[in-house]
């Protein structure tokens, strides 16, 4: 996860037209890989949301005598962890927290970054300079470094992780939103709307946002896998989620030494991170081509 | 060119200043008194006040910042709370090791990533493309710190081919022992940039091959190799900038890998700074790394402008 | 430049094969022992070490000596005190606060300076006298709390020192065994700067520090002129490498990068022994506990809650987690201790009794007790802090105690332990998970619970105060007859257990994993170890 580029990509505004969304859905459904990934992710998310109703073992309660049982043990289909807790339950509840701190910062950053970017791009001039130069400063930090610096200073904890990761993802989203907004603003029909006396708010709402949200959304989805791996990394280091919460990165950490006894169990959280982030990446690629956003 | 360079340099200054403000603020967003761990445990209120004064913590924030910046510019980043040693020395030693690791990983990642990307871009939508892209996406999706642990167990513990930890005894030297220490961490670190570089290159190459001018070159009867040369020339500026930024990410992002391999670099330093709540050390390390990244970006931009004259005027 | 780098890169590709050759004979001479430590940094080298017991063991009693030392030659019995730089000591018959220590007259520092009574005074000033020129904040932070009895000291002649205690205190020799003697001449030669001394220190110990790279490595060679000929090291060299990450430590041993690791992670032990390495362990006076805050407002002030917590932990289950490498706690001292006595509160696993006590104290399924606990993910003698604490957290959840962890690094934890429960740095934690050296009356009992030692004046972390307890402590200090003192010790320990003053969890057995090539090592029943008898095959 160490070095995923957050470089703002050059995103072209999408021409808005009738039937656009239905054609997006059609194109998306024609891509079996992306649909497959969407199904897997949906399953993971549903499992995470409805975990309490799934009749799982208590993810916090273990028994030392039953620790590190292998896969397929009676009553523990995915074995047990170093505290003798049911791995299946830990992984599903772990997905809950992992997806939460993997997705929430991107969602928050999506709103904040879009707002900043659209403001900067539409207002131009001094406001633009002010916002974009501050963004540049945050851009001067490699994302991992910034996340670790802020989390390291604030200390471990879910809220602190959310804060630091949100800060990490606001600048790239702002940049993309700003660049799309600037190019939309220069389009003829926006000029026309302005000339006809429409207020700034209306123009932004009607003409700008419609064009900006798509590409920014696609870009944001491409950040989710980065964010999730980064969040798991923070927990792995001990500055993310605190024990005993089940979280995949933290589980990788606490199961590290068990790799000599039961490597499969120790590998499971890593595999979950891998599958989820793979699906997020492929889904994002699928969305990108379905929405005709060029990179 | 010189004008471009100067303008770009001028632009770096406020960014660097902003970076320093963020680093400075790290200590102040941290909960608790940064001096708790240096203070003698039985310090009286008076001694505590004296200590705060000695560290300049009694002054208003902007003044503190000015003093800190003034010292930092002269290479004085203060003293580590945990070890009592000057932060600049600690960071200096660690940066050397991290640079070594980042360069080694780049030497692996960039050629491999570029070749894979070219292959995929050239044979777009064929099975080669799909294979390469699968590898690339897998590389980007893999938690590499975990891969590192697995590699150690395979190559150090089970096979006994490579050392499991550290950078080797004494100062770095170009010998077998030291190089052998570099192999596993560098390979682990290279996995993600291989994926990113391959994806970027594929997109660039694919796009250029589908452009009209390439078709025109073919029509003019140019050999595929000659066409390739044109393509490379067009891909180079963007490719270079992606790789430059990746190098920076490698340097700033190796913290997890360094922890796994006990590699005595900046990442290792950062993780001990975080757990010892050694804020001056945290601050100093982040500052040095971020400034390095700023300079690297500058160098990449300038290099890009040098090979691609179109950029200069934009 | 680039060309060279490229050449090296192509070289790197061929490397794995070349290394197969390299790894078969990891090219060191037979006489070098490489130790993987659990600390993240080389312990402070200037004299009084940091990094807890591990620092004192590996950097303290190797490079330095103290006036009184531990007998580390036997693995079969608890070790006692033996003469170190002092040949004998006794308390004044009439004034029991005055002690005279007679010093060896044949000792020189590594730099060649002679060791005399003036050096003892100079070193004590270094720790205690904050206006002395040689006062060192870093060493004082480590040494001061070790010798709370000391009121004043003076040199009587070149080879005798008089130490006066604040009140009569029979435990003084134990306290002084912590205090290490650094060379004044060396400090002066280094421009009176401890930072410079750190790079090339000088003590009187059996080992000389020859190389020191912060956070990476320290190297020692034998001091052939050592005063105790029996303890002149047989090795050619000893190398210390900080390896805080347990997997990296085990992997380093199994790949032949070190010959000896401290505290191998229990889960790696089957792999380590499977690969032909040995695990050595022995009982020693160690206690892994939760020291409870007794400040107003702490839920631990209720004896029912304390007893309930002690009854809620299934220590046999924890043993499983530690691969059998622990002795379940029945009291504060290990059950085999001469000071255990006959406490009436039986420390065992009894969940029903625990729940009943909690309900009596007003808690229950609808009213949980919420409490913060200070823990560290690593540390000297801390065994497996994260999973063990998680295990306790789970156990306590059974009796409606919800524990929230405050996680800090080990050195920071030591600072917070010294600072006490009132320090803002503990972030409201009501307990600290600490590992105790309980080798003598002072470190074993007195320092944790004496009212005059409330942190930060001493290490009564939780600010416990009980006149009855203080009376027992006074009796220990005033009983100069060893057998009678043992009897008082037993009574005091009974009170420790009956009042459930700690969350009593376990005693460690100091596992170490060593290569079969390491010969001649005798693991003493002590925190400290003798490295002099070791040879490498």
pLDDT digits (tens, 9 = 90+) for C450-470: 998 898 888 899 999 999 999
State the chains in contact with B (3 or more Cβ–Cβ pairs under 8 Å): A, C
| CB crowding C510-526: b at 16 or more within 10 Å, else e | bbbbbbeebeebebbbb
A196 in C contact zone (CB under 8 Å)? no
CB–CB contact A153 B142 (8 Å)? no
Dist CA A105 CA C297 (whole Å): 37
Is C27's pLDDT higher than 80? Answer: no
Dist CA A79 CA C379 (whole Å): 30
Strands C401-407 and C369-375, sheet pairing = parallel
B152 CB-contact burial (10 Å; exposed 0-12 / middle 13-18 / buried 19+)? buried
Question: Are C519 and C278 in contact, with CB atoms under 8 Å apart?
Answer: no
Dist CA A130 CA A117 (whole Å): 11
Q: What is the pLDDT of residue C28?
A: 40
Question: Are C529 and C441 in contact, with CB atoms under 8 Å apart?
Answer: no
A64 in C contact zone (CB under 8 Å)? yes
Dihedrals φ, ψ of C131, to 5°?
A: -100, 5
Q: What is the pLDDT of residue B35?
A: 67
CA distance C467 to chain B (A): 24
**C142 versus A1: which is more confidently predicted?**
C142
Q: Residue C231, Cα to own-chain centre: how many angstroms? A: 22
- Cα–Cα distances in angstroms (integers) from residue A240 to residues A133, B238, B273, in the given order: 29, 35, 16
CB–CB contact B22 A137 (8 Å)? yes
Is C210's pLDDT higher than 80? Answer: yes
Dist CA C429 CA C425 (whole Å): 9
Q: Which of B240-244, C499-503, C513-517 has the least mean pLDDT? A: B240-244
**C69 versus B279: which is more confidently predicted?**
C69
Best to test chain B binding among C3, C409, C432, C453 (most B CBs inside 10 Å): C409
Selected residues 137-176 of chain A with any CB under 8 Å from a CB in chain C: 156
Best to test chain A binding among B253, B266, B283 (most A CBs inside 10 Å): B253
- pLDDT tens by residue, C294-312: 999 999 999 999 999 999 9
- Cα–Cα distances in angstroms (integers) from residue C410 to residues A276, C38, C372, C385, C433, in the given order: 35, 11, 17, 11, 11
Selected residues 11-70 of chain C with any CB under 8 Å from a CB in chain B: 11-12, 15-16, 18-20, 22-23, 40-41
Beta bridge partners of C535: C519
- Domains defined along chain A, listed by start: 42-290 (1.10.3720.10)
Dist CA C67 CA C103 (whole Å): 8
What is the four-CA torsion angle of A3, A6, A10, A15, rounded to 10 degrees?
130
Long-range contacts of A45-49, Cβ-Cβ distance < 8 Å, separation of 24 or more = A45/A99, A47/A92, A47/A95, A48/A92, A48/A93, A48/A95, A48/A96, A48/A99, A48/A100, A49/A96
Average pLDDT for residues C422-430, to the nearest whole number?
Answer: 90
Q: Which residues in chain A are contacts of B254 at CB distance < 8 A?
A: 2
Nearest partner of C496 among C456, C455, C438, C453, judged by Cα? C438
Question: Are B270 and A152 in contact, with CB atoms under 8 Å apart?
Answer: yes
Q: Report the number of secondary-structure helices (H) and strands (E) in chain C.
A: 20, 21
The Cβ-side half-sphere exposure at C279, using a 13 Å CA radius, reads 21
CB–CB contact C251 B90 (8 Å)? no
| Residue C154 CB contacts under 8 Å (≥ 6 apart), including other chains | C121, C161, C162
CA distance C6 to chain B (A): 8
Dist CA C73 CA C61 (whole Å): 14
Q: What is the pLDDT of residue C343?
A: 96
CA distance B308 to chain C (A): 22
Element spanning C508, H or E: strand C502-508
Dist CA C398 CA C465 (whole Å): 30
Best to test chain C binding among A252, A257, A267 (most C CBs inside 10 Å): A257
Cα-based angle C411, A83, C36 (whole degrees, multiple of 5): 40
C10 in B contact zone (CB under 8 Å)? no
CB–CB contact A260 C405 (8 Å)? no
pLDDT band of residue C43 (cuts 50, 70, 90) is very high
- Cα–Cα distances in angstroms (integers) from residue C312 to residues B9, B46, C335, in the given order: 65, 45, 20
CB–CB contact B262 C245 (8 Å)? yes
Question: Are B135 and B144 in contact, with CB atoms under 8 Å apart?
Answer: no
Pairs of CB atoms within 8 A across B/C: 151
Is C448's pLDDT higher than 80? Answer: yes
CA distance B36 to chain C (A): 7
- pLDDT tens by residue, C325-382: 899 999 999 888 889 999 999 999 999 999 999 999 999 999 999 999 999 877 667 8
CB–CB contact B249 A256 (8 Å)? no
C415 in B contact zone (CB under 8 Å)? yes
Average pLDDT for residues C218-247, to the nearest whole number?
Answer: 92
CA distance A65 to chain C (A): 6
Average pLDDT for residues C425-450, to the nearest whole number?
Answer: 91
Q: Residue B183 corresponds to which tokens in the numbers above? A: 């192999």
| CB crowding B193-226: b at 16 or more within 10 Å, else e | bbbbbbbbbbbbbbbbbeeeebeebeeeeeeeee
Beta strands in chain A (DSSP E): none
Dist CA B203 CA B91 (whole Å): 38
C35 CB-contact burial (10 Å; exposed 0-12 / middle 13-18 / buried 19+)? buried
A162 in B contact zone (CB under 8 Å)? no
As a whole number, the mean pLDDT across chain C is 88
Nearest partner of C391 among A265, A79, A66, A91, judged by Cα? A66
Nearest partner of C137 among B50, B46, B43, B89, judged by Cα? B43
| Residue C422 CB contacts under 8 Å (≥ 6 apart), including other chains | C295, C455, C463
Question: Are B300 and B244 in contact, with CB atoms under 8 Å apart?
Answer: yes
The Cβ-side half-sphere exposure at A109, using a 13 Å CA radius, reads 31
Of B83, B166, B183, which is closest to C16 when you measure between CB atoms? B183
Dist CA A236 CA C410 (whole Å): 18
Q: Which residues in chain C are contacts of A244 at CB distance < 8 A?
A: 390, 393-394
Dihedrals φ, ψ of A242, to 5°?
A: -95, 150
CA distance A203 to chain B (A): 29
Per-residue pLDDT tens listing for chain B (314 residues)? 778 788 888 888 888 899 999 988 887 887 766 666 555 545 566 767 777 777 777 788 888 888 889 888 888 888 887 788 889 988 998 998 899 899 999 999 999 999 999 899 888 888 988 899 888 988 888 888 888 888 988 888 888 888 888 877 777 777 888 888 999 999 999 998 999 899 888 888 888 877 777 778 777 877 778 888 888 888 888 888 888 888 888 887 778 888 888 888 998 888 888 877 788 888 899 999 988 888 888 888 888 877 775 654 44
Q: Which residues in chain A are contacts of B15 at CB distance < 8 A?
A: 133, 136-137, 140
Most confident of A56-65, B299-308, C101-110, C141-150: C101-110
State what percent of residues in chain C have pLDDT above 90.
64
| Residue C521 CB contacts under 8 Å (≥ 6 apart), including other chains | C280, C514, C529, C533, C534
* Placement of tokens 């997905």 in the chain: A95
CB–CB contact A278 B138 (8 Å)? yes
Of A68, A83, A261, which is closest to C394 when you measure between CB atoms? A83
Q: Which residues in chain B are contacts of C20 at CB distance < 8 A?
A: 161
Q: Give, to the nearest 10 degrees, the angle between helix B224-252 and helix A143-154.
A: 10
CB–CB contact C250 A257 (8 Å)? yes
Q: Which residues in chain A are contacts of C425 at CB distance < 8 A?
A: none
> What SS3 class is residue C436?
strand
CB–CB contact B36 C425 (8 Å)? yes
Nearest C-alpha in B relative to C18: B176
- Cα–Cα distances in angstroms (integers) from residue A71 to residues A59, A263, B55, B75, B308, in the given order: 16, 11, 56, 55, 56
| CB crowding C383-393: b at 16 or more within 10 Å, else e | bbbbbbbbbbb
A120 in B contact zone (CB under 8 Å)? no
Q: What is the pLDDT of residue C11?
A: 39
Q: Residue C360 corresponds to which tokens in the numbers above? A: 């009596």
End-to-end CA distance of chain C: 43
Dist CA C530 CA C383 (whole Å): 21
Question: Are B260 and B145 in contact, with CB atoms under 8 Å apart?
Answer: yes
CB–CB contact A236 B145 (8 Å)? yes
Selected residues 248-287 of chain C with any CB under 8 Å from a CB in chain B: 248, 251-252, 254-257, 271, 275
Q: Which residues in chain C are contacts of B275 at CB distance < 8 A?
A: 40, 377, 408-410, 412
Helices (H), C205-331: 246-254, 269-274, 303-311, 315-321
- Cα–Cα distances in angstroms (integers) from residue B115 to residues A5, B226, B237, C161, C280, in the given order: 19, 17, 16, 76, 52
Is C18's pLDDT higher than 50? Answer: no
Q: What is the pLDDT of residue B33?
A: 66
Report cis status (omega within 30 of 0) of the bond before C353.
Answer: no
Cα-based angle C2, C6, C11 (whole degrees, multiple of 5): 150
According to the 3-state scheme, what is the secondary structure of chain B? Answer: CHHHHHHHHHHHHHHHHHHHHHHHHHHHHCCCCCCCCCCCCCCCHHHHHHHHHHCCCCCCHHHHHHHHHHHHHCCCCCECCCCCCEHHHHHHHHHHHHHHHHHHHHHHHHHHHHHHHHHHHHCCCCHHHHHHHHHHHHHHHCCHHHHHHHHHHHHHHHCCCCCCCCCCCCCCCCCHHHHHHHHHHHHHHHHHHHHHHHHHHHHHHHHHHCCHHHHHHHHCCCCHHHHHHHHHHHHHHHHHHHHHHHHHHHHHCCHHHHHHHCCCCHHHHHHHHHHCCCHHHHHHHHHHHHHHHHHHHHHHHHHHHHHCHHHHHC
Q: Residues in chain A with pLDDT < 50?
A: 1-14, 295
Nearest C-alpha in C relative to B269: C215
Dist CA C377 CA A256 (whole Å): 13
Best to test chain C binding among A65, A84, A244 (most C CBs inside 10 Å): A244
């Amino acid at each position: 996860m160490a070095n995923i580029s957050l470089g703002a990509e050059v995103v072209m505004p999408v021409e808005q037209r009738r039937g656009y969304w239905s054609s997006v859905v059609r194109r998306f459904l024609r891509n079996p890989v992306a649909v497959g990934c969407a199904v897997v992710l949906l399953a993971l998310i549903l499992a995470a949301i409805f975990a309490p109703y799934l009749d799982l073992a208590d993810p916090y309660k273990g028994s030392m005598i039953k620790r590190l049982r292998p896969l397929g043990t009676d009553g523990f289909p995915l074995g047990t962890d170093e505290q003798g807790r049911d791995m299946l339950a830990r992984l599903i509840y772990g997905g809950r927290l992992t997806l939460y701190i993997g997705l929430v910062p991107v969602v928050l950053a999506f709103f904040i970054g879009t707002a900043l970017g659209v403001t900067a791009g539409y207002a131009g001039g001094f406001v633009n300079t002010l916002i974009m130069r501050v963004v540049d400063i945050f851009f001067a930090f490699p994302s991992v470094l910034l996340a670790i610096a802020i989390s390291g200073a604030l200390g471990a904890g879910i809220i602190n992780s959310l804060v630091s990761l949100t800060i990490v993802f606001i600048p790239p989203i702002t940049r993309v939103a700003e660049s799309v907004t600037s190019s939309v603003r220069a389009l003829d029909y926006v000029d026309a709307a302005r000339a006809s006396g429409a207020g700034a708010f209306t123009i932004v709402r009607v003409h700008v946002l419609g064009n900006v949200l798509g590409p920014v959304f696609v870009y944001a989805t491409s950040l989710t896998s980065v964010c999730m791996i980064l969040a798991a990394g923070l927990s792995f280091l001990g500055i993310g989620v605190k024990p005993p919460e089940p979280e995949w990165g933290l589980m990788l950490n606490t199961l590290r030494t068990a790799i000599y006894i039961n490597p499969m169990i120790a590998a499971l959280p890593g595999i979950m991170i891998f599958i989820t982030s793979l699906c997020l990446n492929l889904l994002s690629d699928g969305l990108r081509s379905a929405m005709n956003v060029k990179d | 060119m010189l004008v471009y360079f100067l303008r770009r340099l001028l632009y770096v200054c406020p960014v660097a200043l902003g970076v320093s403000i963020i680093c400075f603020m790290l200590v102040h967003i941290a909960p608790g008194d940064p001096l708790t761990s240096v203070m003698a445990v039985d310090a009286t209120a008076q001694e505590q006040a004296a200590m705060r004064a000695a560290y300049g913590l009694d002054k208003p924030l902007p003044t503190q910042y000015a003093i800190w910046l003034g010292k930092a510019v002269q290479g004085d980043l203060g003293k580590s709370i945990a070890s009592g040693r000057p932060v600049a020395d600690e960071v200096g030693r660690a940066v050397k090791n991290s640079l070594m690791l980042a360069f080694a990983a780049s030497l692996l990642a960039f050629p491999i990533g570029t070749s894979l990307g070219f292959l995929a871009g050239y044979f777009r939508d064929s099975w080669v493309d799909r294979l390469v892209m699968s590898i690339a996406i897998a590389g980007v999706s893999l938690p590499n710190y975990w891969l590192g642990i697995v590699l150690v167990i395979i190559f150090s513990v089970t096979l006994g081919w490579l050392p499991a930890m550290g950078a080797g005894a004494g100062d770095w030297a170009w010998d077998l022992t030291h190089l052998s220490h570099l192999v596993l961490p560098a390979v682990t670190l290279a996995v993600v940039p291989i994926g990113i570089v391959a994806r970027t290159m594929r997109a660039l190459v694919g796009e250029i091959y589908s452009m009209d001018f390439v078709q025109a070159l073919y029509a003019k009867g140019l050999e595929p190799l000659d066409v390739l040369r044109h393509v490379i020339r067009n891909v180079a500026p963007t490719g270079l900038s992606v790789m430059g930024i990746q190098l920076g990410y490698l340097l700033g992002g190796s913290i997890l890998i360094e922890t796994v391999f006990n590699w005595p670099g900046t990442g290792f330093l950062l993780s001990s700074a975080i757990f010892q709540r050694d804020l001056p050390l945290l601050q100093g390390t982040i500052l040095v790394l971020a400034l390095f990244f700023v300079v690297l970006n500058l160098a990449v931009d300038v290099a890009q402008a040098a090979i691609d004259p179109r950029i200069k005027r934009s | 430049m680039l060309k060279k780098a490229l050449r090296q890169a192509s070289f790197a590709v061929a490397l794995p094969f070349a290394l197969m050759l390299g790894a078969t004979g990891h090219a060191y001479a037979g006489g070098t022992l490489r130790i993987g430590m659990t600390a993240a940094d080389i312990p402070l080298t200037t004299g009084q070490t940091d990094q807890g017991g591990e620092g004192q063991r590996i950097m303290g009693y190797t490079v330095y000596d103290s006036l009184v030392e531990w007998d580390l030659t036997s693995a079969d019995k608890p070790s006692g005190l033996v003469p170190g730089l002092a040949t004998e000591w006794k308390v004044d018959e009439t004034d029991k606060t005055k002690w005279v220590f007679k010093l060896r007259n044949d000792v020189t520092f590594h730099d060649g300076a002679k060791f005399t009574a003036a050096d003892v005074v100079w070193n004590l000033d270094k720790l205690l006298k904050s206006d002395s020129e040689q006062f060192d904040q870093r060493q004082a932070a480590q040494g001061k709390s070790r010798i709370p009895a000391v009121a004043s000291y003076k040199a009587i002649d070149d080879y005798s020192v008089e130490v006066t205690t604040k009140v009569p205190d029979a435990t003084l020799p134990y306290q002084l065994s912590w205090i290490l003697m650094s060379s004044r001449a060396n400090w002066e030669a280094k421009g009176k700067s401890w930072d410079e001394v750190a790079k090339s220190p000088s003590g009187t110990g059996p080992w000389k520090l020859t190389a020191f790279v912060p956070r990476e490595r320290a190297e020692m060679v034998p001091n052939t002129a050592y005063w105790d000929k029996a303890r002149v090291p047989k090795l050619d060299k000893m190398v210390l490498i900080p390896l805080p990450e347990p997997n990296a430590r085990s992997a380093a041993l199994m790949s032949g990068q070190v010959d000896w690791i401290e505290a191998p992670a229990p889960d790696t032990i089957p792999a380590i022994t499977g690969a032909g390495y040995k695990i050595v362990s022995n009982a020693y006076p160690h206690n892994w506990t939760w020291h409870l805050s007794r400040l107003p407002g702490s839920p631990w002030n209720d004896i029912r809650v304390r007893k309930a917590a002690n009854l809620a932990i299934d220590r046999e289950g924890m043993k499983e987690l530690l691969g059998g490498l622990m002795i379940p706690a029945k009291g504060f001292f290990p059950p085999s201790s001469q000071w255990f006595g006959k406490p009436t509160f039986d420390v065992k696993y009894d969940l029903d009794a625990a729940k009943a006590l909690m309900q009596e104290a007003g808690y229950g399924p609808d009213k949980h007790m919420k409490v913060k606990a200070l823990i560290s993910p690593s540390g000297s003698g801390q065994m497996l802090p994260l999973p063990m604490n998680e295990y306790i957290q789970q156990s306590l959840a059974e009796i409606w105690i919800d524990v929230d962890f405050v996680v800090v690094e080990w050195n920071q934890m030591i600072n917070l332990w010294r600072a006490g429960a009132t320090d803002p740095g503990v972030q409201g934690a009501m307990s600290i998970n600490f590992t105790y050296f309980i080798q003598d009356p002072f470190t074993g009992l007195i320092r944790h619970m004496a009212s005059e030692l409330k942190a930060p004046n001493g290490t009564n972390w939780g600010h416990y105060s009980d006149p009855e307890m203080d009376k027992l402590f006074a009796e220990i200090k005033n009983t100069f007859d060893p057998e009678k003192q043992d009897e008082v010790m037993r009574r005091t320990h009974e009170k420790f257990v009956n009042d459930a003053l700690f969350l009593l969890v376990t005693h460690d057995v100091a596992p170490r994993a060593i290569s079969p090539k390491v010969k001649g090592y005798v693991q003493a029943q002590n925190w400290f170890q003798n490295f002099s008898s070791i040879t490498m095959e």
